[in-house]
């Protein structure tokens, strides 16, 4: 039997005002990135509750990336600063729990940076693929 090629499962939380539009722009410009990235739209990167990220890992995600507006450019003035702090805490805790730093990332992508969005996703997917499957937080009860 042939081994199926390993495809990571990556959840991307994108701010509606910048990176979600950046992802749309990447689409408009037909910039390819792996289909392993699944985007969830949130009003602001600060809407992302650490709970969502834990849940994603628990349910078998291999990597989680959070995209927000560049510092100073938040549509809601200061949301991305909260994100930055919260995620610094969360990611170091995840690292302690054995979910490698390379599986988590916060990236600032503006609405004009379609190319950056695609490049970031390509890079992140390659990084997570290199690490392989995430088993650390996976909840076996969630497996069917």
Partner 1 sequence: MQRIGVFVCWCGSNIAGTVDVKAVAEALKAEPGVVYSTDYQYMCSQAGQNLIIDAVKEHNLTGLVICSCSPRMHEATFRKTAAAAGLNPYMVEIANIREQCSWVHKEMPVGTEKAIILGKAAVAKVNLNTSLTPGESPVTKRALVIGGGIAGIQTALDIADAGFPVDIVETKPTIGGKMAQLDKTFPTLDCAACILTPKMVDVAQHDKIRIFSYSEVTEVKGFVGNFDVTIKKKARFVDETKCTGCGDCVDKCPMKKNPNEFNMGMDNRSAIYIPFAQAVPKVATIDAGACTMLKKGKCGLCSKVCGAGAIDYTQKDEFIEEKYGAIVVATGFNPISMDKFDEYAYSQSKDVITSLEFERLTNAAGPTQGKLLRPSDGKHPHKIVFVQCVGSRCAACAEKGKEYCSKICCMYTAKHAMLTRDKYPDTEVYVFYIDVRTPGKNFDEFYRRAVEEYGVNYIKGMVGKIVPEGDVLKVQASDLISNKQLHIDADLVVLAAAIEPDKSARPLATMLTASMDTNDFFTEAHPKLRPVESPTAGVFLSGACQGPKDIPETVSQAGAAASKVIGLLCKDKLTGNPCIASANEMMCNGCSSCERVCPYGAITYSDKEFRMPDRTTQIRRVASVNPAVCQGCGACTVACPSGAMDLKGFTNSQIMAEVDAICK
Enumerate the β-bridge partners of residue 10. Answer: 37, 63
Residue 103 and residue 99: Cα distance in Å, rounded? 7
> Judged by CB under 8 A, does residue 74 bind partner 1?
yes
Q: Which stretch binds partner 1 (CB under 8 A): 36-44, 91-99, 100-108, 124-132?
A: 36-44
Single out the residue of 2, 3, 5, 35 in contact with partner 1 (rule: CB under 8 A): 35
Q: Would you count residue 49 as binding partner 1 (CB under 8 A)?
A: yes
Please state the closest distance from residue 79 (CB atom) to partner 1, in A. 5
Determine if 79 is a binding residue for partner 1 (CB under 8 A).
Answer: yes
Q: Say whether residue 126 binds partner 1 (CB under 8 A).
A: no
DSSP state of 98: T
135 near 95, Cβ under 8 Å? Answer: no
- Closer to partner 1 by CB, 55 or 95: give it: 55
Residue 71: what are its φ and ψ, rounded to 5°?
-50, 130
- What lies within 8 Å, CB to CB, of 116 at 6+ separation is 22, 109, 110
Dihedral angle computed from the Cα positions of residues 24, 39, 3 and 60, in that order, rounded to the nearest 10 degrees: 170
Interaction residues for partner 1, span 50-69 (CB under 8 A)? 50-52, 55-56, 59-61, 69
Nearest to 45 by CA among 70, 66, 24, 61: 66
Query: Is residue 108 a contact residue for partner 1 (CB under 8 A)?
Result: no
Q: Which residues bind partner 1 (CB under 8 A)?
A: 9, 11, 16-18, 20-21, 23-24, 26-28, 30-33, 35, 38-44, 46-52, 55-56, 59-61, 69, 72-79, 82, 86, 110-113, 118
């Amino acid at each position: 039997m042939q081994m199926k090629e390993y495809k990571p499962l990556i959840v991307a939380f994108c701010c509606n005002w910048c990176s979600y539009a950046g992802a749309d722009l990447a689409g408009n410009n037909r910039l390819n990135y792996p289909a392993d990235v699944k985007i969830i739209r949130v009003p602001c990167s600060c809407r992302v509750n650490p709970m969502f990220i834990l849940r994603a890992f628990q349910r078998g995600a291999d990597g989680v990336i959070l995209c927000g507006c560049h510092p100073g450019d938040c549509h809601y003035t200061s949301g991305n600063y909260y994100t930055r702090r919260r995620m610094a805490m969360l990611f170091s805790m995840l690292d302690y729990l054995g979910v490698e730093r390379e599986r988590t990332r916060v990236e600032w992508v503006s609405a004009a940076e379609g190319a950056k969005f695609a490049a970031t996703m390509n890079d992140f997917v390659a990084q997570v693929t290199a690490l392989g499957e995430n088993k650390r937080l996976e909840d076996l009860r969630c497996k069917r």
